[in-house]
Amino acid sequence: MALLLKISLLLFVSLFSFGCSSTPSLNTSVNSQYSECNKKESVPNSSQYQEIPLNKIANHSSNHQQNQTTNLIGNDPKQLVLQHFDLPEKQDASKQEITAICTDSKQVIVLLTKTELLDDSVAGIRYYAALVPVEQGWRLAWAGRQQKCHPGRGHTDWSTELCL
């Protein structure tokens, strides 16, 4: 009887530990954490950016008729932002910096800063893009921009105000 109890207990423990294994399961859904996040950086306040309507971004980036929502979805948040916020050749930037910040709400905030622009009044543009995880990858949920001016052409700090 004691042997049967030990075997039953051993079987129960082995089944329980197998069911509670910490081995990752094969999950085909998109991982909601972005591996290239800078978790040490604080999230900037989106209210300090001028909102860019998403339909303008989708229409600008689409070369042919397609679903605008689909156009704002991609597998990599940084690449998605670079795809949608490329500057015209006449305004190309000498310097570009892109940073991804993960938030507690599983959003990824991507900041794209372009400076030393070939423009007589605008010295730099900073884009703020909030992306949320969706089944197909990441979707651009909100976008905004700031700019700073060359000296003598308006403000020289990041602002939503236009340059002169």
Query: Which mean pLDDT values do the consecutive 10-residue runs of the chain (164 residues) have?
Result: 44 37 32 68 91 83 50 92 76 84 90 91 95 94 96 96 95
Q: Enter the DSSP assignment of 104.
A: T
Rounded to whole angstroms, the Cα distance separating 47 from 53 reads 14
- Provide the pLDDT for residue 91: 64
Q: How many structural domains does the chain have? A: 1
**Is 100 inside a domain boundary?**
yes
Q: What proportions of the chain, in percent to the nearest 5, are helix, strand and coil? A: 25, 30, 40
Closest CA to 107 of 88, 79, 132: 132
In a domain, 156, yes or no: no
What whole-number distance in Å separates Cα of residue 41 and Cα of residue 37?
Answer: 9
In a domain, 140, yes or no: yes
pLDDT of residue 150: 96
Which pLDDT belongs to residue 38? Answer: 73
C-alpha 146/C-alpha 158 separation (Å) is 6
Q: Is 99 within the bounds of a domain?
A: yes
Residue 123 domain-assigned (yes or no): yes
pTM to 2 decimals? Answer: 0.72
Structural domain boundaries enclosing 55: 31-149
The pLDDT assigned to 133 comes to 94
Q: Is 164 contained in some domain?
A: no
- Give residue 74's pLDDT: 93
Residue 21 lies in a domain: no
In a domain, 78, yes or no: yes
User: In the prediction, which pLDDT does 138 show?
Assistant: 95
How many angstroms separate the CA atoms of 136 and 30, rounded?
Answer: 7
